[in-house]
Structure 1
Amino acid sequence: MTRAANLDAWVQGHAAQVGTLIWVVFALLVAAGVTGSSWPLLAQGPEAALVQWRGSPAALGTPRFIRADEWGILVTNALAQVNHVPRFPVVNTLLGPEGQNMGVIGMTGTPVTQWAALARPATWAYFFLPLRQAMAWQWHLPLFACLFFLWQALRLLLPARAGLALVLAASFCAAPYAAGWSQWPLYPVAFGAALWLTLARLTQARHWRAGAAWGAAMGALLAGWALVLYPPWQISTGWCLALLALGWLADGRHARPGWHAPQWLGLLAALTVAGTLLGSWWLDTADAVARMAATVYPGGRDAQTGADIAGAPWWLLRGYLNGALLHGGLAPDAAALVPAMYANESEMSAFILLPLPLLLLAAWQATRAHPLRWTLRACLAFVAFWLVFRFVGIAPWLARATLWSRVTGVRLDLSLGLACTALLALLAAGWAARTAASASAGRVQAGVAMAVALASAGLVALEFAWLPAGVLQTDGAGTRLAMALGVGASAWWLMRGRVGAAAALLLALGLSAGLAFNPWSRAPRSMALAPEVAALAADANGQVPRTLVLSADAKAAVTLAAAGVPVVNGVLYYPQPVLWQGMGLTPQDWPAVNRYQHLSFVATPLPANGPPWRVAGELDRVRVSVDALRFDFASTGAGRVLARGEDARRLRESPRLHELGEVDGWVWFAPCTGPCIPSPPAADQKMRLKVSGQFAPWKAF
């Protein structure tokens, strides 16, 4: 017996202990407050002067600016919920003049005091743990939940090989695609795999209590899956897992008790629990959902029919670039060589695929006796549909009927990676059931295996040849050779029936590329407004009015909101008509702002004979240029205006603003409610605090 077989047998005999160990490691990481979030970027740069953090921002590894939707949006929204008074509201009044409904925030979400929070386990810790541990919980739960539940789901396909199922689940979770997207892709898969498991338990239930319990669990999981609120991943992986589950049920239909009273009761319980949780969410969030659905982006992204990636033959196999991409990054001029939407590490990260051996062996096994023939055929049917959608496209009516109209080509990788992982498990099941081949057949098999291995290694060379030269920062021959050898060896072992060895090598390749992409740090204990800043942000009554931040990006605005300061702009999930009506937006300009938006204001001289402001919107960004001398800042609902550098210099010339003071380069103004004194206020009437560097010393761990 080989070492791999020994390990497989050991895990099979100690499956309960291994499962417990997975959650023990998760608990230890949470207790230590360790996270892979790039939150330390919030404590760097000029914006760090606005707040005080408790806890060092030191990180092992480099925080990733490209993960701004994690550290600059999800983290700051969670902090805004923590620092809101009262905590965890449905509508957070800190975000925009109308407030932001927090129920529309997808992925792992933010903590919200509503019944639907029961279906968002990644946010649970905020309600009962300190901030440091809560942030660690939210970061790690998608990884450990996916590892555990996908492992258990794959054991349904490999009931006698728990070790191989664990390696396959680990190789999926370690894929650089997950690391490149802050582990978020693993979250919907965790829900889907857990749903498959509960369905399996429900079909085996023989008592009404068991049926009701498993049904209630299914309902909660279904609600959790729905509240991920990211259709491209949900729909594609949902179809994959649903087909696998149906195939598995068909393969084992003779070994199950059938659909009787416990199953019907479980179905009723599932619908009741899911309906209750989602109904609670809908009552709180329906208006915000309607606003988002009516936006240009992402609301207009509901008419996809596939075949929407053109001119990039390297896109499908870009997982072979992972090692060079996630370690060395992209060259400075990469955006000029490939479409801008592809030119970042997150978009270009992917699964390492073995298309030749997988498709050849799966097609071969599908024509022969297989213990899970319907599951195998269901998986192949999904892959076939995936390929048609990706390269040919489907009819609009079919896209709408299957909900694939909401799936974009650049988000297809997750479902294909999941299908390939399932195929590896199904191939292993087929190999185990196959009788030993004759010596001559073995020699033929060896020759075919070598040919497939060499062709697979050649695909790596072809991928690097397809990629425009100069895209990758580091692209040496050693990197290419290592990937080609790894892919070729995996293909060889797979063709020879050694699925465990192939999966282990895929796991190693994934870890080597993605493990160091996200930094390791300890989450902060707390964050609050700096005292010097708080003195300028508050009015004479001690209240904190809403602040309009003038900056080329939204970082300062979201930082203030995270610290509990109401802001006009920042990152808003839907447009707020009160803001634009107050500013006098014309109807023809509504499409420019009707989108999920990183909303920024900048001071720019505008023609004297034109309006005092103008707006430009593209994809997920809205930029408002204002003429500092003529713009009515009070029309935004702001009681404070904050700027630095050239913007602050222009604002000092505005007859509509009164300067309050300066903290480390950030200048605070108040819009005039009456006639403004054109000259600067006297020294005894304003506070000018100039502090060099970070004025709040970091507290020890």
Structure 2
Amino acid sequence: MVDVESPRERGRVDRARYALLSLYLRLIQPSTTPLRRQLLVGLAAYAVLLLVLVAFGINGSSMGLLYSAMFGGRDPGLLRGVPRAIRSDEWLVVAPLTVSQVEEGLPYKSGLFPGGFDTTIVWDLPYREWSVLLRPHMWGFFVLPLDNAYALKWWLPFLTMAAALFVLLCTLWRRPLASFAVAGAFAAAPFFQWWFGSGSFWPPACAIAACAGTILMLRTDRTWHRWVIAAIVSYLVVVAVVALYPPYLIPCLYPAVGFVVGWIVMARSLSWPERLRRMAPLAVGAVVAGIVLAVFLVTRRDTIDAVVSTVYPGQRLSPTGASGSFSWLAMYAGIFGIGLRAADTTGFAANASEGSSFIFFGLYLVPSALWLLWSRWRRGAGFDWAMVGVLASLGLMFAFIYVPGWDAVAHLLLLDRVVMPRIVIGMGVGSILLLGLVVGRLRELSDVRVPVWTTVASVAAVLLTHWVVYRGLVRNAPAVLEASIAWVVLLVVLAVAIGLFSRGRATVPGILVALVALVVAGWVNPIYQGVFDMRETAVGQAIEEVDAENPGSWVAVDGLAATAVLRETGVESYSGVQGWPSQEMWDDLDPDGGDEDAWNRYAHVNWTANPDAPEIVLVTADVVQVKLDSCGPVAQKHIEHVLSQQPIDQPCVDEVESISEGGGTFYIYDVVPAP
């Protein structure tokens, strides 16, 4: 019998085809919606997304590892995904410190270490002091419960960066869906996901916002619009700078400067006096921002001097041409960034975070960029100085990586303050700015035919780069290649997207690269609800009771959970991570300063009861180990309590309490006089 399609079935198929065709045509047609409405709707979407995430207390922390260390098993707050042990600065350092700040009432100077420390420097912590006005992601801790405040802290910098890029791309392309998709693809880059934190997002956010703000200020005739835009950009600059992390700030600066200066030079429809008049609010904002930053730095001068004078990272400078200090395979991995899920990244990178980079969408379009520059010059329209500026900034960073011998110039440009692998953030920002410019310029062409060779060259750049990386993975990192699931499909989709970008298309390739980015790195951070509050555990409550009855200093012996719970309960402790050494603390532990090279650094200060261990030893670049001798002068004079996850057999400790917690036991001891 022959199956005959009924007229009704044919009608449904035809209607489905018509609907898909109509949708496709709507996607590729220029939007007729006014730019202002496009921007407002897009920003409103980001605001709603932030509101939902904060309302439900959703974050991407890996603090579930602390739950596992204490109780074993899976943390019920973990909704989806896998906590990442490599992100220890987030779940082992910042998360417990944030809880401790809430416990202590958000002090400006924390008393966790003997001598205390300034909470406004190094770590991203909430505190009560005027400069918290420059940390908007912290404001929730003053008005919201801990879970919701932590969610705001987690998402606000991330979504602000994505929103800034959306505004820039929508202004250049007038394609809101494409802009939203590409902003999401950029935010989902492996680098951002493996280094997720406000310090990673504010520098690119302010750089991109400065580019978008320049365009809008030169276009609008309304003075108050320009002042509002300038205020927003200047504020974001201050927010980024007070993080005080040059390895991210400096690389993001140069692409933004190239773009902004180039765009101002190109605004030929305006006279130079008019250009300067329209940009004047930004100049005023820069002056105000500079004054605010100066006050911030001067009022924290002692702390900043202490950080800068450390062995690590204060004295860390990078020479030019030191490309061997990081893996080129990881830097240009592209879609092979998905392989960072491998348990063993040997031959690819030291670890997943150090191996994270970007999918350089814009760099693949350099052939199109060069043709656009030549075509514009040939038509007598002059140079596209914004594109020249961005390409020059990328050239500067490539030179810093690969060309040795100009260290003096690099020092003047502050580039030697950039740890070599971190410069990739500037290349990521430059690449996305170049993508925005290339597609925007191609979309403006109406009477100029775009040559096919630019598309062929751009697609070839995608395929050739990934072929070289593939060969490197086969030889050096087969485990990473094995973990790169569906890489062939991802590569094909990426090549198609780049090909479409090179023809001036925006929406379809934007959606494609967003899908690629989500598959490559969207899985890195888990979806977590709430905060694992160790103060509410049995051992946390026991610590608070013992310290209330007999206040004094603590140490945690072995075990991550023991150190973390001391942090969260807010008791004074000689254990934990120091951003820089407390002089009072190390005067107690090392009175003659003989081990200063070991402890004068950013480091985890861990304690051991092993009698054969050295008194103080540097285990790794950021781990200092101190031996507990309860009968020794240090413990007898300065330590009152010890928390351990194993029994301690020493004559000068007396067990106060043992607490069964999950699958293990915590022991609390008092230090007693030596016999």
Most deviating of 619-628 and 398-407: 619-628
- 2:48 aligns to what? 24
* Corresponding residue for residue 463 of structure 2: 457
Q: Aligned to 2:554, which of 547, 555, 559?
A: 547
Distance 2:562 2:418 in 1: 33
1:86-485 mapped onto 2 (5 Å cutoff): 87-94=105-112, 96-106=113-123, 109-158=124-173, 160-182=174-196, 184=198, 185-199=200-214, 213-255=228-270, 258=274, 264=280, 267-268=283-284, 270-276=286-292, 278-310=293-325, 312-326=327-341, 329-331=342-344, 334-335=345-346, 337=347, 342-354=349-361, 357-369=364-376, 373-393=384-404, 395-435=406-446, 445-446=451-452, 449-450=455-456, 453-454=459-460, 456-467=462-473, 468-470=475-477, 472=479, 475=482, 479-485=486-492
Task: Please say if residues 529 and 564 of structure 1, whose CA atoms lie closer than 8 Å, have aligned partners that are also in contact.
Answer: no
Q: CA deviation at 1:292?
A: 0.5
In the alignment, is residue 513 of structure 1 matched against residue 531 of structure 2? no
Say which is worse superposed, 251-260 or 129-138, in terms of deviation.
251-260
Q: For residue 625 of structure 2, what is the aligned residue in structure 1?
A: 623
- Equivalent residue of 2:549, what SS? coil
CA separation of 1:12 and 1:167: change in aligned 2, threshold 3 A: farther
Q: Deviations over 1:537-593 (max 9, x none)?
A: 5458625422111116x5422332122222211011001222222223544421111
Deviation at 1:319? 2.5
User: Which amino acid is the alignment partner of residue 492 of structure 2?
Assistant: L
Give the deviation of 1:147 after TM superposition.
1.4
> Where do residues 687-698 of structure 1 align in structure 2 (5 Å cutoff)?
none
The CA deviation string for residues 619-672 of structure 1, in whole angstroms up to 9 with x for no partner, is 22212234566564134x322111222xx3xx32x2332222211222111122
Residues 1:499 and 1:210: Cα distance change in structure 2 (over 3 Å) = closer
1:583 matched to 2:589? The reply is: yes
Maintained 8 Å contact 1:131/1:525: no
Q: Does 1:63 align with 2:70?
A: no
Give the structure 2 partner of residue 76 of structure 1: 96
State yes or no: 1:639 paired with 2:640. Answer: yes
The aligned counterpart of 2:16 is none
Deviation per CA, 1:129-182, whole angstroms, max 9, x where unpaired? 111111111111122111111111234433x44444333322211222222222
Gaps of 5+ in 2: 1-20
> Given the superposition, is the C-alpha separation of residues 7 and 127 from structure 1 closer, same or farther in structure 2, using an over 3 Å criterion?
farther
2:542 and 2:148 map into 1 onto residues whose CA distance is 31
Residue type of the partner of 2:595? D
Give 3-state SS (helix, strand or coil) of 2:324's partner.
coil
Relative to structure 1, the CA distance from residue 406 to residue 304 in structure 2 (aligned partners, 3 Å threshold; closer, same or farther) is: farther
Flag the 1:586–1:486 CA change in 2: closer, same or farther, 3 A.
farther
Counterpart of 1:657 (choices 630, 653, 660) is 653
**Distance in 2 separating the partners of 1:540 and 1:71:** 25
Residue by residue over 1:179-225, the C-alpha shift from the partner in whole angstroms, topping out at 9 and shown as x without a partner, is 22225433321222233444555556878766665554444222111
SS state of the match for residue 339, structure 2?
helix
8 Å Cα contact 1:633-1:656 kept in structure 2 = no
CA distance in 2, matches of 1:476, 1:541: 51
C-alpha separation in 2, matches of 1:249 and 1:262: 10
CA RMSD of aligned residues (A): 3.2
Structure-2 change in CA distance of 1:304 and 1:205 (3 Å): farther
2:607 corresponds to 1:601 = yes
- The 3 A distance-change label for structure 1 pair 616 and 452 is closer
Distance 1:631 1:606 in 2: 17
> What displacement does 1:595 show?
0.5
The change in CA–CA distance for 1:31 and 1:306 in structure 2 (over 3 A counts) is farther
Deviates more, 1:8-17 or 1:314-323: 8-17
Distance 1:88 1:11 in 2: 49
Residues in 2 aligned to 1:306 and 1:462: alpha-carbon distance in whole angstroms = 21
TM-score normalized by structure 1? 0.83
Secondary structure in 2 matching 1:641 = strand
Which amino acid in structure 2 is aligned with residue 72 of structure 1?
L
The 3 A distance-change label for structure 1 pair 475 and 11 is: farther
| Cα shift readout 1:506-544 (whole Å, capped 9, x = no counterpart) | 211101122222111211385525456544554586254
Task: For 1:568 and 1:48, locate their aligned partners in 2 and report how far apart those are by CA, in whole Å.
Answer: 26
The 3 A distance-change label for structure 1 pair 591 and 90 is same
Q: For the residues of structure 2 that align with 1:418 and 1:183, how far apart are their CA atoms?
A: 17
State the distance in 2 between where 1:511 and 1:140 align. 17
Please give the per-residue CA displacement for 1:98-147, whole angstroms capped at 9, x wherever unaligned: 112111135xx211211111111111111111111111111111221111
What is the rounded CA distance, in whole Å, between the counterparts of 1:310 and 1:261 in structure 2? 46
Q: Are the equivalent residues in 1 in contact too, given 2:214–2:279 (CA < 8 A)?
A: no
Cα displacement (A) at 1:35: 1.2
Q: CA deviation at 1:490?
A: 3.0
Deviation at 1:249, TM superposition (A): 1.3
Whole-angstrom CA distance in 2 between matches of 1:379 and 1:422: 7
Match of 2:18 in 1: none
- Looking at structure 2, the residues matched to 630 and 105 of structure 1 have their Cα atoms a distance apart, in angstroms, of 33
Aligned-pair CA distance for 1:378: 0.6
CA contact (8 A) 1:97 1:567 kept: yes
Residues 426/448 of structure 1: CA separation in 2 closer, same or farther (3 Å cut): closer
Any unmatched runs of 5+ in structure 1? 50-54, 677-701
Q: Does 1:569 align with 2:578?
A: no
Q: Secondary structure at the match of 1:549?
A: strand
Task: Note closer, same or farther for the CA distance 1:454–1:393 as it changes in structure 2 (3 Å cut).
Answer: same
Code of the aligned partner of 1:621: V
2:670 corresponds to: 670
Aligned residue pairs total: 640
- Structure 2 residue identity aligned to 1:271: V
Measure the CA separation in 2 of the matches of 1:603 and 1:99: 25
Cα distance 1:661–1:281, how it changes in 2: closer, same or farther (>3 A)?
same
* CA pair 390-618 structure 1, distance change in 2 beyond 3 A: same
Q: 1:56 to 1:423 in 2, by over 3 A?
A: same
In structure 1, the residue corresponding to 2:375 is in which secondary structure? coil
Give me the identity figure in percent: 22
What amino acid sits opposite 1:514 in the alignment?
A
Question: Residue by residue, what CA displacement relative to the aligned partner does 1:68-94 show, whole Å, maximum 9, x if unpaired?
Answer: 11112221221111111xx11111102
Question: Does the 8 A contact of 1:81 with 1:92 survive in 2?
Answer: yes
Cα distance, 1:403 vs. partner?
A: 1.2
Q: Which residue in 1 is equivalent to 2:495? A: 488
| 2:666 aligned partner, one-letter code | W
Structure 1 counterpart of 2:12: none
Q: Which residue of 2 aligns with 1:560?
A: 566
Given the superposition, is the C-alpha separation of residues 72 and 209 from structure 1 closer, same or farther in structure 2, using an over 3 Å criterion?
same
Q: 2:15 corresponds to which residue?
A: none
The verdict on how the C-alpha distance between 1:112 and 1:395 changes in structure 2, with shifts beyond 3 A counting, is same
Aligned to 1:680: none
